[in-house]
Structure 1
Amino acid sequence: MRLGHVLAWLAMGLAPMAAHAERDPGRAIAELFATQMDADRDGVLEDGEVIAFSEAVFSSMDIDGSGGLTFEEMRDWEHGMADLATFRHREEAFDASIGMAFALFDRDRDGLISPAEYKAGVRIAAGLADGDKNGTLTVNEYLDGFIFNVAMRTALAG
Structure 2
Amino acid sequence: MIRPAALLLAALAATSALAQETVPASATVDAARAQIEALAAEMDVDGDARITLDELQAAAGQIFPSIDADASDGLTRAEFLGWEFGLAEMAAFRGRTQGYEAAMGMVFDLFDRDGSQGIDAAEFEAAMVESHAYADLDGDAALSAAEFRSNFVVNVALRNALVPQEVLGARRP
SS in structure 1 opposite 2:3? helix
Structure 1 length as normaliser, TM-score?
0.90
* Pair 1:61–1:113, CA change in 2 (3 A): same
Residue 59 of structure 1: how far off its partner (Å): 0.5
The aligned amino acid for 1:153 is R
Say whether 1:51 aligns with 2:57: yes
Distance in 2 (alpha carbons) for counterparts of 1:8 and 1:21: 23
Tell me how far 1:12 sits from its aligned partner: 3.5
Deviates more, 1:57-66 or 1:6-15: 6-15
Instruction: Report the identity percentage.
Output: 38
Match of 1:6 in 2: 3
Corresponding position: 1:87 with 2:127: no
Bigger mean CA deviation after superposition, 94-103 or 12-21: 12-21
Structure-2 residue corresponding to 1:39: 45
Q: CA distance change for structure 1 residues 16 and 71 in 2, over 3 Å: closer, same or farther?
A: closer
Q: TM-score, normalised by structure 2?
A: 0.83
Q: Does 1:153 align with 2:159?
A: yes
On the 8 A contact 1:129/1:142 being kept in 2, the answer is yes
SS at match of 1:27: helix
List alignment gaps of at least 5 residues for structure 1. Answer: none
Q: What is the deviation of 1:24?
A: 3.3
Please say if residues 74 and 119 of structure 2, whose CA atoms lie closer than 8 Å, have aligned partners that are also in contact.
yes
What is the CA–CA distance in structure 2 between the aligned matches of 1:25 and 1:150, rounded to whole Å? 16
1:133 maps onto 2:139 in alignment = yes
Corresponding pairs, count? 155
Counterpart for residue 112 of structure 1: 118
Q: Which runs of 5+ in 2 are unaligned?
A: 18-22, 165-173
Supply the AA of the counterpart residue of 1:154: N
Report deviation, 1:23.
Answer: 3.3
Which one is further off, 7-16 or 146-155? 7-16
Cα distance change, pair 68–80 in 1 and its aligned pair in 2 (3 A): farther
- Relative distance call for 1:21 and 1:120 in structure 2 (3 A) is farther
> Does the Cα contact within 8 Å between 2:8 and 2:86 map onto a contact in 1?
no
- Counterpart of 1:105, as a letter, is F
Counterpart amino acid of residue 137 in structure 2: G
* Counterpart code for 1:148: V
Contact 1:143 1:149 in 2 (8 A): yes
The Cα shift of 1:9 comes to 1.4
